[in-house]
Structure 1
Amino acid sequence: MDKRSVSLRLAILGALGAAGASISQPAFAEPAGESVEEVTVIGSRRANALDTVAPVDVISADQFESVGAPDMDNMLRSLVPSYNVAQQPINDESTLVRPANLRGLPPDNTLVLVNGKRRHRGGVITFLGDGISDGAQGPDVGPIPTIALKQVQVLRDGAAAQYGSDAIAGVINFQLKDSAEGAAFEARYGQYFAGDGATSQLAANMGLPLGANGFANLSFEFGEADPTSRSAQRADAQALIDAGNTAVLSPAQVWGQPQIKESMKFFANTAYEFDESLEAYFFGNYATREVDGGFFYRNPNTRDSVYSKDGGATLLVADLNPNNAVSCPTVAIDNNAPDAAALALISSGGALDSECFVFNELFPGGFTPRFGGKIVDQSAVAGLRGSFTSGLRYDVSAAYGSSEVEFLIYNTVNASLGPDTPTRFKPGLNHQTDTNVNVDLAYPLAISGLASPLNVAFGFEWREEQFEVERGQLESYQIGPFAAQGFSSGSNGFSGYGPQSEGVFARENIALYLDLEADVTDRLILGTAVRWEDFDDFGTTTNFKVAARYELTDTFAVRSTVSTGFRAPTPGQANIVRTITQMVNGALTETGVLPPTNPIASALASIASDGEFSAAPLKPEESFNWTLGATFDLGPVGVTLDYFNITLEDRIALNSLIDIDRTDPEQVAILDQLNSSGVPGASTLSAFQFFTNDFETETQGIDLVATLPFELAGGHSSLILALNWTDTQLKEITALADATRKIQLEDQLPGYRAILTGSHAIGPWSFMARTSYYDSYIVALDVGADASGEFDGKYGGELLVDMEVSYRITDGYRLAVGAQDIFDNVPDRFPNPELNSGAIYPTGSPMGFNGGFWYARLNIDF
């Protein structure tokens, strides 16, 4: 293949029309006539891999630039059909780091790389992840600024044998810019059509020479985003207002995106070439952001263990001096209003003010906690790479990554502290750190009869994962003096980490791998890989991969892979202790999460299930992947078509909720043990969960990409269709994976997603239109499920249209205006929002629910 052929292939990489090309997601075209000798993509360890045996999507920096919303998850969702992510408006930690699904699998089943090196895991465990992601602990891609990216590569294939744990659904590699000159500046502002959710962002990138043979490429981004509200007034809140309660907010509970404050991202990518055979490199990041979101509304008549203990018949009154002879009055509730005379006795200035207390004095209209936190993310990777005169290539590196999440909850109470409760709490901190040392070697071995040298790649990895839980402030987990009178302990809505939760939990592992690949003939590529890993907590695992690609003609090639994979349980999943407030069967319920090795969890599980199951130590998930695909041309249209099948055994997730029977003396005794050991809220737990390896799924699907570059009206144009069909089946419904979980796994993501993108450039003008189709889906046990039972949770397919027009003002200056969801399309509404906790739209909608978003962007290149 001569340079002209290589140049042509790269020039239409955005359209992917090259014969036999294995890259299947478009990137915008390279300048015509520019010659590039090497293309590096994931999925192959060969030095000059123009064709890979597995499908790889390549997304250019220009494509990210044309997506209106600056959030990385939303950008990937707009460009990769098999990538799904929901808004998560009221979902505890999920609000801070949204769980994303590639090919319908949890976020920690996708391996994330930066410059080909493993990125550290995020500090958030997704306790509430819409069923699919419950309990997942994946990486956080939010700290990566888009202006720092040269391209993003998405390997849509199992690759655990090549890259290690987590690479079951695929691999996403963020490739950083590496220019030694030039600078770029971007200013962006946007807002939803509804008039809220304004976002602003400033970003800059600069390339600098580092000595005579090096570069330092620096990127910075600062942004903020206002919250949105797509809420109706709750029926119970409206009833309070109708009864004369003037302290109730409207709406009492907000459904929308959280507020993002002071989001700052910095990335540095550097390298220095000492000579042709030795290069040193370093890259790393530092990022912070603050997130402020909403929680569920606490009704001032009915909220259990704060306002009442009998479902709202009477107020729960605290006796401030239980040892004296004064008795607190009974405050009855009638027609949504407490007895005014009785309430006046114990309120400020009343005769019994110093003797009795009710939380109506502090929050007469009820309260809605605000939950969020500050995330600090940082990483550093350094290494040496080069080659010896023998042809042996090497890459020796060390990496450190850290994700720290400090939680904050305010506008809430620790009810067990009575009138002395604070209303603002720091519940504690999660700190995830990953340390990696890698030695990667490759040697081109000349073998007679092969069309290319046999690439022999082998290496070693040492990795340590550490999850640290720091206790919160005392009041956030304290069991106060009024707990004995029936008041709940811990900061209401998100109890703090206490002494029973704090600790440092770590695991080490080592790995060895061998990877072979060669052109057997001019038309046939074969590859195989095997990887052995040893973990200090659960032993060893060995995985393999076999892959082939064969060109039947110059314009038609077939490819296939077969592999096994695994995902190791994280130290956080194996050791976390939490209490969670969530909606269960239409009621706000306190639930607990206990470690699977906790003897209390095992005993409680066994008793609650009549001995059907018990908690057990976690073991790795295991997968079997196979793919079959083809790349071909239909005239000027380039097509790639790939089928995939992933069987995943021993999936690690939070089990379905196990109800606690408070009439069972054995269960009550265990709850007393939890309470005495300092677990906040244990006395009010109604259900509990633990992590388990419990069920098996089979996920299959098809990815289709068709591209057409063409000339129109004197300009350059392209049409690109990317379509994904994914279907997941729960192989067995067990006691821990019930019918609800089955719906969540099988039907909560759209079966089909399609993205059709058209672009046209002529003179200083550029135009882009993108149409995204989301197939129908079902939301099981949505917090807004119709209380009347008339709504079955099914939502129809939706079509979203994005448009952008940009104009080159002068050399280096470009102004763009555009809109996402330009026709302001939203999901099907709930039939009775006021009965659905105020939620107007399904909160787990894969397309979002905020509606149209307009934006303007100024780009300056020097």
Structure 2
Amino acid sequence: MSTKLFRTATLTLAVSIALGTAPAYAEENSSKVKVKDVERIAVVGSRSAPRSVADSPVPIDIIGGDDLEKMGSSDMLDQLVGSVPSFNVHANPISDAATLVRPVNLRGLSSDSTLVLLNGKRRHRASVIAFQGGGINDGAQGPDISVIPSIALKQVEVLRDGAAAQYGSDAIAGVMNFVLKDAAEGGSFSVKHGEYYEGDGATTTYAGNVGMPLTKDGYANLSFQYKNADATSRSVQVANAATIAAAGNTFIAEEAQVWGSPEVNDDTTIFGNIGLDLGNDKKFYMFGNYSERDVKGGFYWRNPHNRSSIYSNDGGDTLLVGDLDGVDNGITCPTIAIGANVLDQADYQSIADNSTALGKNCFAVNETYPGGYTPNFGGNVVDTSLTVGVEGEINGGMLDEVYFDISGSVGRNKSSFSIVNTINSSMGPESPKDFNLGDYTQLEKTFNLDLSKGVEVGLNSPMNVAGGLEWREETFEIGAGDQYSFLAGPLIDQGFNLGSHGFPGFQPSQAGVFSRRSVAAYVDVEAYLTDDFLVGAALRYEDFSSFGDTLNYKLTAQYSINDELSIRGSVSTGFRAPTVGQANVSNVSTALEDGELTDSALLPPTSEFSKLFGGKELEPEQSNSYAFGAVYQNGDFFFTADYYHIEVDDRITQSDRTALEEADYAKLEALNVANPRSVGTVSFFANDFDTTTQGVDIVANYGMQLFEGDTKFSLAYNWNETDVTGSSEITGAFKVKRLEEGLPQHRGSFTVSQSWDDISMYVRGNYFGEYHAVHVDYDLAAQDADAAITFDAEVSYFINDSFTVAAGAQNIFDQQAEELEFEESSRNHPDGFTPNNQWGGKYYETSPFGFNGGFYYVKVTYNF
């Protein structure tokens, strides 16, 4: 096994593990462009030669790029939900910055507990921090997977096992490796259009891919996707809005508040993947992307009678009226008791008449927004990356026959925030209605040196020994908003809100650049002790400039009992470093506290005020995990079952919001915090709770000839259970409930696909178990939701070798999400309505299959 054949056919692949550029083993395309066999070779999970899924000592899912394209949605997040049962993502109708970049969950852990690779290289994280992440993702800052289009992918590899000892921080839940296409010829162009059964959410996607030769020894594979998606609404009229409208306020919108998916405009992404054979067993590679999109979603409706610091400061008893020339400095503004419709009251009309001296001197926000208002929050997201490297075999010297991979990567994600249809009420009638809020920028630079060699140690085959070094720099930058978005206007001392209401802009004092560096070294060995017994070990040391160092290990083994059956297992430690953004970000946004809207401030954990409530410098999360399972393969039947157990200590969370009292305001003022009384609650990030997550993954596939065609059956099932084993009042009981029950413990899918010469089709059933449904992030607006089953289907017709038409639907039978209660309640609550109905939602927003219902689509593809 130490022959030149071994070196060129096996060790060449070994180095490409870190790169992800292993050559394909898929069958050649047939003359008809039909369903292609997925390459069953994975590069994640081992630093030896890439292995088939059956030969891997850790569980790996492989999803082909063509399979991902057979979805109604063109969003990579939704496509993966239908393919990986332990993968979850919420629609996030009202969730601040998470509207721009939706957080995801693998195995019930937060989005930044899963490491994302592109061609085997670490993918930079997004700049967005999920301030309202539904409990599980509160404060999470993971990569933006949605920018990766399925048309650019050869396959996606999902390693369902802890791998921090191999890849570093974030790989607690697992690793997802997106492998780009590397063909040097051919390509495709497609147009897809669809909309929801309700008649909204129309989405049109244009996508293309082309492979070109780069000299006779290389390739340049380019892909693009351009998409626009309309917003959706699954709303009923807000209870209070209906009451005020019934009293005669004609300015109330028919849907005062919209619960639905945001509007996405000009979602453009371009990916490139280049490789060139340099000769002498060496190769140059380069890949990267440019992506940009505009997103706009709704916020909470502002009640024109009682919204604090805008319309009233005593719960709606009297109107908040500003004296424009100053209190006790001329004309005195009247006290106005609020009735059923304040607009019809003579005392209000006297100040609304700006032709009189009283009207010119007195101001109420009702003059600007007589029917209340609903801010629209959104922004622009730009994501770019570039990786350049060289791999090959060293010839001669002490490193003779060692394969190397030297690479450098840079990734940048910038989110520029904006809010429209709102007000800076402290500015009075001079306030703009639209504001630029500032921006977050995440910049990451990485350099890697990876070495690998097969070493003869007297076994039947060489032992693979790998080692390497990594240097990383992570920078988080906050850019200030326009001055009116954070300005304290002349009415600030009269109880009016400062800054753009709903999301004040970032102040210059908040702006800044925050950086952290780390260096890492690893060693990885893997060998067959016998022909049937594979063992592996990895050790990784990493040192961070912020909190210090960490050492992690992993042990893996697989034993083949016979040609069909093998057993496997792993044990490992891991860690997730707190992000620079989590350690330094500050923000003010509108949130619910005890069912009422209030402005809540998030402060850095090391700020003087956070320290008063127990805040301190963040430390890394630590994990211990083990897994074991079995693989059975006999002919066209393939079956795996794996149990996993993950303990994570010192998990980072956004603390429960603490309502401020008079003593707290006095402390803030003593710390020279500007205008502290403009916020009602504060929170910060903290290492506060521990969890134990366990579960079982089952995957089964079977192929056969049926109905004079090729038939494939696929089953995937996941049971996942998370227990919070320790926490303090910082986390709070409501968040614990969401962490443990916010996602279904049981998820499964069963797919039947059928193909003939001219037609292919598939039907998939998706099972979602019971879960704790939450609305408006409020504990009283929550209940246990029933299990549900949805079905997806698609039919494709191959007109000829070049053209294919397809039609399909997701949630084809229009299974509805768990509905909110609408009956009147005896609970002690405003207007006697249940809390969930108070905010105008129709369905619980945390539905694991979304709340929009069925979606149908048609698609035309040209292959060349």
TM-score > 0.5, shorter chain as reference: yes
Match of 2:784 in 1: 794
The equivalent residue for 2:850 is 848
Alpha carbons 2:268, 2:293 under 8 Å: kept: yes
Q: 1:344: which partner in 2?
A: 349
SS of residue in 2 equivalent to 1:236: helix
1:473 aligns to 2:482 (yes or no): yes
Secondary structure at 2:475 match in 1: strand
Provide the C-alpha distance between the structure 1 equivalents of 2:168 and 2:727, rounded to a whole number of angstroms.
Answer: 29
In the alignment, the residues of structure 2 paired with residue 624 and residue 686 of structure 1 have an alpha-carbon distance, to the nearest angstrom, of: 39
CA contact (8 A) 2:391 2:404 kept: yes
> Who is 2:431 aligned against?
421
2:548 to 521, 535, 539: 539
* Corresponding residue number in structure 1 for 2:716: 722
State whether residues 38 and 155 of structure 2, in contact with CA within 8 Å, keep that contact through their aligned partners in structure 1. no
Q: Is the 8 A contact 1:743 1:780 kept in 2?
A: no
SS at match of 1:293: strand
1:45 aligns with 2:54: no
* Inter-partner Cα distance in structure 1 for 2:28 and 2:337: 74
> 1:663-742, aligned counterparts within 5 Å?
665=663, 667-673=664-670, 676-678=672-674, 682-742=676-736
Looking at structure 1, the residues matched to 483 and 636 of structure 2 have their Cα atoms a distance apart, in angstroms, of 68
Aligned residue pairs: how many?
A: 817
- The answer to whether the Cα contact below 8 Å between 2:343 and 2:349 also exists between their aligned partners in 1 is no
Distance 2:756 2:45 in 1: 36
- Cα distance, 1:672 vs structure 2: 2.7
Quote the residue 1:5 is aligned against.
none
CA distance in 1, matches of 2:196, 2:784: 26
Is this contact kept in 1: 2:768–2:789, CA < 8 A? yes
Are 1:409 and 2:399 matched, yes or no?
A: no
- For 2:804, the equivalent position in structure 1 comes to 814
Which residue pairs with 2:565 in the alignment?
556
CA contact (8 A) 1:333 1:339 kept: no
SS in structure 1 at match of 2:666: helix
Which aligned pairs between 1:434-473 and structure 2 lie closer than 5 A? 434-448=444-458, 450-473=459-482
* CA distance in 1: counterparts of 2:640 and 2:165, whole angstroms: 24
Offset at residue 737 of structure 1 (A): 2.1
Partner of 2:592: 583
2:530 is equivalent to residue 521 of structure 1: yes
Partner SS for 1:345: helix
Q: Report deviation, 1:77.
A: 0.5
Give the direction of change, closer, same or farther, for the CA distance of 1:655–1:38 in structure 2 (3 Å limit).
Answer: closer
* CA–CA distance in structure 2, aligned partners of residues 48 and 848 of structure 1: 36
Provide Cα deviations, 1:274-293, integer angstroms capped at 9, x if missing partner.
11511111001000000000
- Deviating more after overlay: 266-275 vs 626-635: 626-635
| Partner residue in 1 for 2:334 | 329
Shift of the 227–93 alpha-carbon distance from structure 1 to 2, 3 Å rule, reads same
Corresponding residue of 1:630: 630
User: What is the match of residue 6 of structure 2?
Assistant: none
Which of 567, 574, 577 is 1:565 aligned to? 574
Query: Deviation digits for residues 507-532 of structure 1, max 9, x if unmatched?
Result: 00000000000111111110000000
Task: Identify the residue that residue 357 of structure 1 maps to in structure 2.
Answer: 363
Asked if 1:315 is matched to 2:319, the reply is: yes
Q: Deviation of residue 634 (structure 1)?
A: 7.1
TM-score by length of 1: 0.92
Letter in 1 for 2:644: F
Matched, 1:748 2:737: no
Query: Which residue is 1:65 aligned to?
Result: 69
Tell me the secondary structure at the aligned position of residue 307 of structure 2.
coil
Q: Paired residue for 2:773, among 776, 779, 797?
A: 779
586-595 vs 453-462, greater mean Cα deviation = 586-595
What's the CA shift for 1:330? 1.6
Q: 2:113 aligns with which of 85, 96, 109?
A: 109
1:243: how far off? 0.7
Shift of 1:35: 12
- The farther-off stretch of 823-832 and 284-293 is 823-832
**Could you tell me how far 1:838 is from its partner in structure 2?**
0.5
Deviation at 1:451, TM superposition (A): 2.4
Q: Which residue of 2 aligns with 1:383?
A: 389
Q: Does 1:803 align with 2:812?
A: no
Over aligned residues, Cα RMSD in angstroms? 1.9
Mapped pair 1:641 → 2:645: no
Mapped to 2, the partners of 1:673 and 1:495 lie a distance apart of 23
CA distance, structure 2, for counterparts of residue 756 and residue 463 of structure 1? 41
8 Å CA contact retained: 1:671, 1:683: no
Worse-matched range after superposition: 576-585 or 527-536: 576-585
State the distance in 2 between where 1:733 and 1:211 align: 60
Partner deviation per Cα, 1:721-771 (whole Å, 9 max, x = no partner): 000000000002422122111111100000000010110001201010011
Task: Provide the secondary structure at the position in 2 that maps to 1:727.
Answer: strand
What do the CA deviations read for 1:191-249 (whole angstroms, capped 9, x no partner)? 00000000000011111111121111001110100000000001100011101000110
Post-superposition shift, 1:670?
Answer: 2.4
Cα distance in 1, alignment partners of residues 26 and 243 from structure 2: 56
Q: Does 1:658 align with 2:658?
A: yes
Say yes or no: does 1:87 pair with 2:87. no
Contact 2:378-2:418 at 8 Å conserved across structures: yes
Inter-partner Cα distance in structure 2 for 1:623 and 1:356: 60
Are the equivalent residues in 2 in contact too, given 1:589–1:686 (CA < 8 A)? yes
Listed one character per residue, the Cα deviations across residues 288-330 of structure 1 (whole Å, up to 9, x for unaligned) are 0000000000011111001111111111001011263211112
- Residue number among 75, 78, 93 corresponding to 2:82 in the alignment: 78
Alpha carbons 2:655, 2:685 under 8 Å: kept: yes
Residue 502 of structure 1 corresponds to: 511
Indicate how the Cα distance of structure 1 residues 709 and 357 shifts in structure 2: closer, same or farther if over 3 A, else same: same
Change (3 A) 1:106 1:241: same
TM-score for the superposition, normalised by structure 2: 0.92
- 1:28–1:60 CA contact under 8 A, matched in 2: no
Deviation of 1:399 after TM superposition, in Å, equals 0.3
Instruction: Name the residue aligned to 1:371.
Output: 377
Deviates more, 1:329-338 or 1:542-551: 329-338
The whole-number CA distance in structure 2 between the counterparts of 1:197 and 1:818 is: 16
Question: Is the 2:559–2:566 Cα contact (8 Å) retained in structure 1?
Answer: yes
- Report deviation, 1:38: 9.6
Which residue pairs with 1:268 in the alignment? 272
- CA drift of 1:62 comes to 1.6
2:425 corresponds to 1:400:
no
Moved more, 90-99 or 344-353: 344-353
SS of the counterpart of 2:573? strand
> What do the CA deviations read for 1:101-146 (whole angstroms, capped 9, x no partner)?
0000000000000000000010100111000010010000111111
Residues 351-395 of structure 1: CA distance to partner in whole angstroms, max 9, x if unpaired? 212111111110000000000000000000000001123321100
Deviation at 1:780, TM superposition (A): 4.8
- TM-superposed CA distance for 1:333, in Å, is 0.8
Residue 684 of structure 1: how far off its partner (Å): 2.9
Give the CA deviation at 1:673.
Answer: 4.9
Q: Is the 8 A contact 2:660 2:680 kept in 1?
A: yes
Per the TM alignment, residue 637 of structure 1 is displaced from its structure 2 partner at its CA by: 3.3
SS in 2 for 1:740: helix
Partner in structure 1 of residue 21 of structure 2: none
Structure 2 residue runs without a partner (length 5+): 2-24, 824-832
Matched residue SS, 1:695: strand
**Which SS does the other structure have where 1:94 is aligned?**
helix
For 2:290 and 2:99, how far apart are their aligned partners in 1?
21
Quick one: distance in 2 between partners of 1:154 and 1:575?
31
**Partner amino acid for 1:819?**
A
1:635 Cα deviation (Å)? 7.9
CA distance in 1, matches of 2:780, 2:171: 39
The answer as to whether partners of 1:40 and 1:47 remain within 8 angstroms in 2 is: no
Correspondence 1:146 to 2:160: no
Match of 2:18 in 1: none
Partner residue, 2:16: none
Secondary structure of 1:79 counterpart: coil
**Could you say which residue in structure 1 is the equivalent of 2:443?**
433
CA distance in 1, matches of 2:140, 2:182: 33
* Cα shift readout 1:776-820 (whole Å, capped 9, x = no counterpart): 101356447767xxxx51100010000110100111211000000
